A and B are shown apart, each in its own frame.
Chain A
Amino acid sequence: DTEVTQTPKHLVMGMTNKKSLKCEQHMGHRAMYWYKQKAKKPPELMFVYSYEKLSINESVPSRFSPECPNSSLLNLHLHALQPEDSALYLCASSQAYRVNEQYFGPGTRLTVT
């Protein structure tokens, strides 16, 4: 099973809402990633978790709050977002941080109104 799942597929939220994105993998991978992707642009790394600990935060605004409750699950909590945060949010995982093949989920299309 080489699948990374993400829910929801689509999310529309107002600037005062609080919502969460969820990512799950059952491949036994110990590194998980959040990327943000604007239309026709490459993904931009936001966060990396390695063995459930935050390893990299690419200077992401605090209105994005990641959480890794266990090795299979990665959440991204959203609060007080801006319209420019509208994007495709991709989750990925790899066997370990130093193992380089990353497997991506289908993404959550987020629209902030």
Chain B
Amino acid sequence: AQTVTQSQPEMSVQEAETVTLSCTYDTSENNYYLFWYKQPPSRQMILVIRQEAYKQQNATENRFSVNFQKAAKSFSLKISDSQLGDTAMYFCAFMNNQGGKLIFGQGTELSVKP
């Protein structure tokens, strides 16, 4: 069975600085998808970034980038130039090649301080 682990329950960062959120996962599959979702206090879950396991290049979306290490089964999220609006719960999630079911980590609560 696949599992996703986020070892940092809470983190904080000063505005304009860079922060990295960790995620590791366990799977025996070779093809799969990884995601970072953001859930602000307003509670709507928003997709931040996705990574296909067959792609070696790390995904980037503006200030958000990932460090995908397939052999190590690691998928960390880097947020550059942190903004107050980045304050949220961040969930790492795994989906196998059959699709459908997202398996979430326990989340990291990020606070961006002015």
**A residues 31-61 in Cβ contact with B at 8 Å:** 31, 40-43, 45, 48, 50, 55-56
Stretch of B21-29, B37-45, B56-64 contacting A (4+ beta carbons < 8 Å) = B37-45
Instruction: Report the Cα distance A56→B100, complex, angstroms.
Output: 9
CB distance from A5 to the nearest CB of B (A): 11
The residues in A between 54 and 111 inclusive whose CB is less than 8 angstroms from any CB of B are 55-56, 88, 90, 92, 94, 96-107
Hey, which chain A residues are within 8 Å of B35, CB to CB?
Answer: 100
Encoded as 1 (CB less than 8 Å from any A CB) or 0, chain B from 12 to 35 comes to 000000000000000000000101
From residue A90, how far is it (CB to closest CB) to chain B in Å? 6
State how many residues of chain B have any CB contact under 8 Å with chain A. 23
Q: Which of B47, B50, B101, B104 contacts A56 (CB 8 A)?
A: B101
Do A88 and B43 contact each other (CB < 8 Å), given the known contacts A40-B107, A40-B109? yes
Contact (Cβ within 8 A) A98 B98 = yes
With CB as the reference atom, state the residue of chain B lying closest to A105. Answer: B44
Q: Which of A42, A55, A92, A101 is the one whose CB lies under 8 Å from B91?
A: A42
Let me know if A42 and B104 touch, CB within 8 A. yes
Compute how far the CA of A100 lies from the CA of B35 in the bound complex, rounded to whole angstroms: 10
Say yes or no: B44 contacts A97, CB within 8 Å.
no
Q: Which residue of B lies closest to A2 (CB)?
A: B47
CB within 8 Å of A: which B78-101 residues: 89, 91, 95, 98-101
- Residue contact A42 to B47, C-beta cutoff 8 Å: no
B43 touches A100 (CB 8 A): no
Q: Are A43 and B101 in contact (CB under 8 A)?
A: no
CB proximity of A92 to chain B, nearest CB, Å:
8
Give A residues with C-beta under 8 Å from B.
Answer: 31, 40-43, 45, 48, 50, 55-56, 88, 90, 92, 94, 96-107
